[in-house]
Structures are given as C-alpha cells and as structure tokens.
C-alpha cells in the first residue's frame, strides 16, 4: 500500500501483487474530507484471484500447524506494534470514535491469538470399527480438511475485527481467501492484507478486492471453485446472496434489533442504566448487537428510564478523533437522514420522544423513545443508529414474548437474579445467545456468535468458523497388524 501525507492510495491486492487501475474516493463520515483513493477491482481481477486461490489450495493446506500458528501469532504481534496506525485508519474511514477504534484493534489481536491456538489444536479422532463380526482389524481415522477457497464479504462497522473473524479462521484452517471489504472502509482491510503477507502467508492464497456489489454477487453465483461464502451485512443482501450461491456453503451474520429485559430484582439500576446508554449509543448504534429495545418491569420503569436519560446526557457526540467522543457520525449522511425519518415516523405514530433526535450533518443526538408499538420501524427493523425504545412490562412472560416479537434473533440481555426466570428465558427466547447480567451488546470474540431467524445462518467466533471452513474426511484401514 502506498501512503502520502493526509491521504492514502490503496492498490488492490491479488496474488502477491498490488494492482493499479480505475479508482474511487473514500471520504470521512465526520467531515467529508478525502481519506484516499482505492483501486476498483474488476471481474477480470476477481477471476485471477480465484485462479490463484484454487492453485494455492494444496500449498495452503500443506502448511504445518506450527507454521499456521506462527503466521497468526506474527499478525497479532504486528497489530500490537501498529495499534495506533490501525486505530487512526478506522477513525478516518469508519468515523469510529478513537477510543473504540483502539478497542477494536485489541479485539482483533485476541481474534488472531485465538486462531493461532486453534490452529495448533485442529485435529481429529480415531474410531473403532470392529463392532460387528467379520470386521476384526478395522479402524478409522477422521481428520478435518479445508473446504477450499473462501469468499469473505465484510461490513464497514468493524473494518478490522470483523475482517479478522473471517481471515484468521481461514488461515488456521488452511483455506485460500478472497476478501471483499466494504467500499466505505477498504484501507483497514488492505493494511491487514499487507501485514498477513509479511507474516508469511502464501501470497497467492490471499486477495483483497474492493469489488462492486454486483461483481461480488456475480463471483458468488458463477464461480464454482469458491467453496464457502462468508457474509456479514444486511439481511436482505445476505439471504439474496445465499439464494444465488448454488451448492456453496454459506455463512451469514445479518444483524438484529437486540433487546434487554430489566427485572425489578436487579440490585444496581444505576449501573444497568450506564451500561444500557453505552450499549445503545456507542459508535452511534452502528453495531448488530446495539441495544435497540429495552423492556423494564413497571415497578422500576420510571426510575430506570430517567437514569438512562441522565447517563445519556453525559455522552459526548461529535468528532471521532476527539478522545472524549463516544457517539460519532453515522457512516453516510443518507443513513443519518433515514434514522431521523424513522424517529419522526414513530413520534407521529404516537411514540414519545424523551431525549435527543437533533441532527447535525451525519451526527444524531442519542434518541430515547417510549410508547413505541409493533409495526414501527424503530421497533421492528434494525435501526443501526443511536436509537433506543424503553417500554414497561407487567408480566415476565409477556416481556419474553415482546423480545421474540421480531424477525431477528441475534442476542438478548437479561438483568435478573432469579434462576427460574433465567432458565425460562434461556429456554424460550429465540436468539443465538442470552447474556445474563449484562446487555446484549456484550461479546467475547472466541465465543460462538450468530443468530436465528433473519439474523443469520451458522456461527462465527474462531473455533466455530474453523469448523465451518473445514470438512471431516474419514480414512478406514483394515488388515494392518
């Protein structure tokens, strides 16, 4: 990657080569300043990347476990060394507040370190097969092998760590990888590609291609040498991609409208309100597990609501490069205008605006609503903006039903100390994970991560992704003594 003061130029990476060509501008979500220009990948580039990936499968698969582990550890070490460089890239192109950007780099380090450990543990099992008469001397061995070339499609909101969640498992599994980063945030992915090559991963087994959405869909549909498509993004695009991916494996992480239940037995409502405010409005709510719906037992509803209002007022919104900022801009002005319109529509439909809603360019003051109803976009859809709806409930079973009244099912949070309620919620809630004692925004990167319903298909998290990117192959032996 070439750099120059103030802006950057990204040449797409394909088969060890940095390739120049027609380019597009990347601009800051905060002030629309030019971040840099990035080369547009063509269909010819995509075909060449698949050629390289298919040809490099044997070499990538043959890398011994110690070498895969070493490469992954070296990538983690490079991210630690270049932490501020990557954080500033994330701030510039994603508009993520700098403290959160640094935290994202830390998470990516953990992702690569975990993948290094899993690469060393990737094994199999032996099976006794002399279980019926006439099969004396037979035994079996099961090992996992890489599925083949992987197409990874990543979103803008975590331009390093969500890329890492696809790249690191692919390296651990021995799969060649073609990475298509979000057009808003290509520089972080290109910089990571540079680090991976320097760590010793075969150049032909990695491509970073800023493809158009149309050419990415074409690649997923037409190129049978790609064996797995891993996509993180909107439900609409994800399910369309799956419908056109033929016999390829498809792994989808598609977001949600995460809900939190707050029961009256929770001992520290003040701390719960602090966590809720940060989980709803950090990075302007641009996370698939951002808290969007909160259901509070009526006896503590007013107390909790006004505590959230109090703590939200302390959040700093504005320039993402400011160390104090937690609520930065939305990724595009059009997204801020959409969120503003959804809030207005809810208020016109009877919801009460408790706080926020003012828009300055792409920055929206954190919005707290109550009196929302099913059918409102702010309640039923994924807002992906700084908006939370806080509603009372009288019956715990009704609260569970309210959480389930959604086409999404990624994660939910529950604040109660009652074991019976916890187990009931675990059994009844239609989500990929229930987070007890915290908000649904909590995630540790090694854990299995994914949802049900429109929230996706399969699981990410390093070990789970490695399982998705490998397939069992059995060897049956007989007659050996």
Same domain, 167 and 278: no
- Tell me, yes or no, whether 70 lies in a domain: yes
My answer on whether 239 and 305 are in the same domain is no
Catalytic residue among 288, 335, 382, 391: 288
Residues 6+ apart with CB under 8 A from 353: 343, 347, 367, 368, 369
Clarify whether residues 272 and 340 are in a common domain: yes
The dihedrals phi and psi of 250, each to the nearest 5 degrees, come to: -135, 130
In a domain, 304, yes or no: yes
Is residue 446 situated within a structural domain? yes
Neighbour-count burial of 213, counting CB atoms closer than 10 A to its CB (0-12 exposed, 13-18 middle, 19+ buried): middle
Supply the DSSP string of 115-141, one letter for each residue: HHHHHHH--EEEEE---STT-TT-EEE
**Residues 6+ away with beta carbon under 8 Å from 243:** none
Residue 33 included in any domain: yes
Q: What is the 3-state secondary structure (H, E, C) of 241-276?
A: HHHCCCCCEEEEECCCCCEEEECCCCCCHHHHHHHH
Q: Are residues 245 and 267 part of one domain? A: no
* 124: Cβ contacts below 8 Å, ≥ 6 apart: 141, 142, 143, 144, 472
Residues 278, 304, single domain; the answer is yes
- Of 38, 86, 41, 37, the closest CA to residue 191 belongs to 86
Query: Looking at the 3D structure of the chain, how many domains does it have?
Result: 2
Tell me which of 93, 118, 253, 460 is the catalytic residue: 253
Residue pair 279/440 in contact (Cβ under 8 Å)? The answer is yes
CB-CB neighbours of 137 under 10 Å:
11
Q: Which residues contact 322 (CB under 8 A, 6 or more apart)?
A: 97, 98, 316
At 432 the pLDDT is 97
Query: Do 446 and 461 have their domain in common?
Result: no
Instruction: Check residue 9 and give its pLDDT.
Output: 61
Q: What is the largest CA-CA distance in the chain?
A: 80
- Is 165 found in the same domain as 38? yes
Let me know whether 85 and 212 are in one domain. Answer: yes
Q: Are 278 and 350 in a shared domain?
A: yes
- Is residue 304 a contact partner of residue 79, using CB atoms and an 8 Å limit? no
Query: Are residues 278 and 387 both part of a single domain?
Result: yes
**Rounded CA separation 140/138 (Å):** 7
Q: Residue 288 catalytic?
A: yes
User: For residues 310 and 355, is the Cβ–Cβ distance under 8 A?
Assistant: no
Question: How big is the chain by its Cα radius of gyration, in Å?
Answer: 24
What's the CATH code of the domain at 301? 3.40.309.10
Q: What is the pLDDT of residue 19?
A: 75
Q: Are 342 and 387 in contact (CB under 8 A)?
A: yes
- Answer whether residue 235 is part of any domain: yes
Quote the pTM value.
0.95
Q: What is the token pair recorded at 15?
A: 């088969």
Residues 404 and 470 in one domain: no
**Residue 10: predicted pLDDT:** 57
The edge-to-edge listing of strands for the beta sheet with 367-370 is: 352-355, 367-370, 387-393, 293-297, 259-262, 411-415, 433-436
pLDDT, averaged per 10 consecutive residues of the chain (481 residues), comes to: 46 71 92 93 93 95 96 98 98 98 98 97 91 92 96 98 98 97 96 95 94 94 96 95 94 96 98 98 97 98 98 97 97 98 98 97 98 97 98 98 98 98 98 98 96 96 96 90 55
Examine residue 321 and state whether it is found in any structural domain, yes or no.
Answer: yes
Q: Would you say residue 52 lies in a domain? A: yes
Tokens of residue 148, six digits: 């083949």
Active-site residue, 81 included: no
Structural domain includes residue 479: no
Same domain (yes/no): 17, 143:
yes
CB 252 within 8 A of CB 465: no
The pLDDT, as a whole number, for residue 3 is 36
Query: Where in the sequence is the domain holding 15, given as residue range(s)?
Result: 2-254+456-474
Q: CATH number of the domain at 73, please.
A: 3.40.605.10
């Amino acid at each position: 990657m070439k750099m120059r003061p103030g802006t950057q130029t990204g040449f797409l990476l394909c088969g060890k080569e940095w390739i120049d060509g027609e380019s597009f501008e990347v601009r800051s979500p905060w002030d629309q300043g030019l971040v840099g220009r990035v080369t547009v990948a063509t269909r010819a580039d995509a075909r060449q990347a698949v050629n390289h990936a298919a040809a490099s499968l044997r070499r990538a698969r043959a890398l011994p476990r110690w070498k895969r582990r070493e490469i992954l550890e070296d990538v983690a070490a490079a991210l630690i060394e270049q932490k501020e460089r990557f954080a500033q890239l994330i701030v510039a192109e994603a508009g993520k507040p700098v403290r959160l950007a640094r935290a994202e780099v830390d998470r990516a380090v953990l992702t690569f370190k975990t993948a290094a450990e899993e690469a060393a543990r990737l094994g199999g099992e032996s099976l006794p097969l002399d279980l019926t008469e006439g099969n004396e001397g037979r035994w079996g061995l099961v090992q996992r092998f890489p599925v083949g070339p992987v197409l990874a499609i990543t979103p803008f909101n975590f331009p390093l760590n969500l890329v890492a969640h696809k790249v690191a498992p692919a390296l651990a599994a021995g799969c060649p990888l073609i990475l298509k980063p979000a057009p808003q945030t290509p520089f972080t992915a290109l910089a990571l590609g540079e680090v991976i090559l320097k760590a010793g991963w075969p150049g032909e087994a990695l491509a970073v291609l800023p493809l158009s959405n149309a050419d990415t869909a074409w690649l997923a549909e037409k190129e049978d040498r790609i064996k797995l498509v891993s996509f993180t993004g909107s439900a609409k695009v994800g399910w369309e991609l799956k419908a056109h991916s033929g016999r390829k494996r498809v792994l989808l992480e598609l977001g949600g409208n995460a809900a939190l239940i707050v029961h009256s037995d929770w001992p520290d409502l003040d701390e719960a309100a602090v966590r809720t405010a940060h989980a709803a409005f950090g990075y302007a709510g641009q996370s698939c597990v951002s808290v969007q719906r909160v259901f509070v037992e009526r006896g503590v509803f007013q107390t909790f609501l006004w505590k959230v209002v109090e703590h939200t007022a302390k959040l700093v919104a504005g320039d993402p490069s400011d160390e104090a900022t937690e609520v930065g801009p939305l990724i595009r002005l059009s997204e801020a205008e959409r969120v503003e319109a959804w809030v207005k529509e809810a208020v016109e439909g009877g919801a009460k605006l408790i706080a926020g809603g003012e828009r300055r360019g792409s920055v929206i003051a954190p919005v707290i609503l109550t009196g929302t109803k099913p059918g409102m976009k702010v309640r039923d859809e994924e807002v992906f903006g700084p908006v939370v709806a806080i509603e009372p409930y009288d019956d715990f079973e009704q609260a569970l039903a309210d959480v389930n009244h959604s086409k999404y099912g990624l994660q939910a949070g529950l604040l109660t100390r009652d074991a019976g309620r916890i187990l009931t919620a675990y059994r009844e809630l239609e989500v990929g994970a229930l987070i007890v004692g915290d908000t649904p925004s909590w995630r540790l990167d090694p854990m299995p991560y994914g949802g049900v319903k429109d929230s996706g298909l399969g699981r990410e998290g390093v070990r789970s992704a490695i399982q998705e990117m490998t397939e069992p192959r059995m060897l049956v032996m007989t007659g050996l003594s």
